[in-house]
Amino acid sequence: MQDADKKNRDEIFKAFRNHVSSGKADFFQSVGIEFVFGRRQGAYVWDAASDKKLINCHCNGGVFNLGHRNPAIIEKLKQSMDEFDMGNHHLVSENRAILAQRLAELNPGDITYTVFGVSGGEAIDLAIKLARGYTQKNRVISAKGGYHGHTGLALATGDEQYRTPFGVNPPGFEQIPFNDKEALSNALDSDTAAVIFETIPATLGMPIPEDDFFSYAKQACKDHGALMIIDEVQTGLGRTGRMWGIEHFDVVPDIMVIGKGLSGGMYPMTATCFGPELQDFFHNNPFIHISTFGGAEVACPAAMEVLDISSSPEFLQNVQDMAEVFRNGFKVLKEKHPTILKGLRQIGLMMGIEMVNENCGLVMSKTLYDNGLLSVYANNNPCVSQLLPPLIIDKPLADDILERVDKGLGDAKQFLGL
Ligand SMILES: Cc1ncc(COP(=O)(O)O)c(C=O)c1O
């Protein structure tokens, strides 16, 4: 990058501080992460004000599964922009019909209907509305430390720290420990509309559930006339080496929510998917839920491309192969850094670096940043750093990431005196 092209960091920080968020500007300056998201391509993002380059292992939780500015997605979007716009959210739409049909082919079991949205929170809200509308029950059970979004009902399923400042939580929401069958059994009752879990809770630090947890949960829901909602916002679209994370657990949810990566990193698109029985509820109330921008027609061809790429056997095989590289790499790192590294929580490229104490996450975000990796710690378990590389990485890049994690662990160890 030529010096003349580089933006002035101080000016950007000043405008951001004065007009977007003074708290964020202060925080990032205080921890020495004065990065301004600049040029981006594939697995990389550059600082707008210097030559600093990072490998993106945050990926906004999966938005950049296919890398930044994936050429195939851009091409589809460009073509689409010559022809389409938002469309009309009340009328029949060919683009939405074709995209929903493709999802029906790819979704587990008989999840053949989709309502599109623009954010994960909105899609979760709808899942809960549908569960309540269909069952005519009220209670919703979710996992402590889980995260489903910052909107109304999604927020109500989440942790206190995010909702307490905003007043009284709506009634009927209860949190139980994740992966705890007994707690789930005790919480379910005849007024439970839904149980909602992420397949692997990212904000909780990627705890991997027992093999039979979700089949148990599904049966327990069935026994109580409740529905099981699975949040695949982060684990969907190939992240785990299968198209949907829940496929690893051999169970078909009643409602499945997809977000983030469905956008191709270019145009917001989320989906609340369910089977024909639940769609009966909307059959009788077809205008009861509305999203003006949900399923924007212009974005549908790009989302279709995302589905085609993400479901291809070669693509999923690459995720599994790269997962193996990390699995083996972390065995070596564990031997080398036993005082800080406990291990890798992993299914496919859904990965969390588990460390020895709660100070490690924040320090690792900084030492990884200093070593050229963008990664954040799990907010509801700061012992864990999330490691979410794009799914298009190859072996040399995976090795490069491992080398940087090695250095980051070494620096964090030194800083923390471990
Ligand atoms: C698992 C999960 N569900 C839902 C959401 C909410 O998505 P959005 O931020 O698009 O509303 C997120 C966002 O991080 C998420 O990680």
Mark whether 337 and 204 lie in a shared domain: no
Mark whether 286 and 334 lie in a shared domain: no
The ligand 1 site (C-beta within 6 Å) comprises: 61, 119-121, 124, 147-149, 198, 202, 231, 233-234, 259
Parent domain of 218: 71-310
CB 156 within 8 A of CB 167: no
The pairing of strands 192-198 and 53-56 is: unpaired
So what's the pLDDT on residue 71?
Answer: 98
Mark whether 219 and 280 lie in a shared domain: yes
CB 221 within 8 A of CB 251: no
Mark whether 317 and 332 lie in a shared domain: yes
Q: What is the CATH number of the domain that holds 128?
A: 3.40.640.10
pLDDT in tens, 6-48: 779 999 999 999 999 999 999 999 999 999 999 999 999 999 9
Q: Is residue 34 part of a domain?
A: no
Average pLDDT over residues 204-209: 98
Mark whether 263 and 320 lie in a shared domain: no
Where do the DSSP E strands lie in 209-274?
Answer: 227-231, 255-258, 270-274
Nearest to 413 by CA among 340, 353, 330: 340
- Pocket mutation for ligand 1, best pick of 147, 162, 237 (most atoms within 8 Å of C-beta): 147
Mark whether 81 and 196 lie in a shared domain: yes
Helices (H) and strands (E) in the chain, counts: 14, 15
Q: Is residue 249 part of a domain?
A: yes
pLDDT in tens, 366-399: 999 999 999 999 999 999 999 999 999 999 999 9
Mark whether 136 and 170 lie in a shared domain: yes
Ligand 1 centre to CA of 413 (Å) is 31
So what's the pLDDT on residue 7?
Answer: 76
Average pLDDT over residues 277-299: 95
Please report the atom of ligand 1 found closest to the CA of residue 151.
11
Q: Is residue 372 part of a domain?
A: no
Domain count along the chain: 2
> Is the model's pLDDT at 4 over the cut of 90?
no
Q: Is residue 353 part of a domain?
A: no
* Cα separations in angstroms, 64 against 58, 222, 314, 411: 9, 36, 18, 28
CB 395 within 8 A of CB 325: yes
Average pLDDT over residues 192-212: 98
> Is the model's pLDDT at 2 over the cut of 60?
no
Residue 149, beta-bridge partner list = none
What is the reported pTM? 0.97
pLDDT in tens, 49-106: 999 999 999 999 999 999 999 999 999 999 999 999 999 999 999 999 999 999 999 9
Average pLDDT of the chain is 97
Q: Which residues contact 386 (CB under 8 A, 6 or more apart)?
A: 57, 58, 202, 205, 206, 351, 352, 353, 375, 376, 377, 378
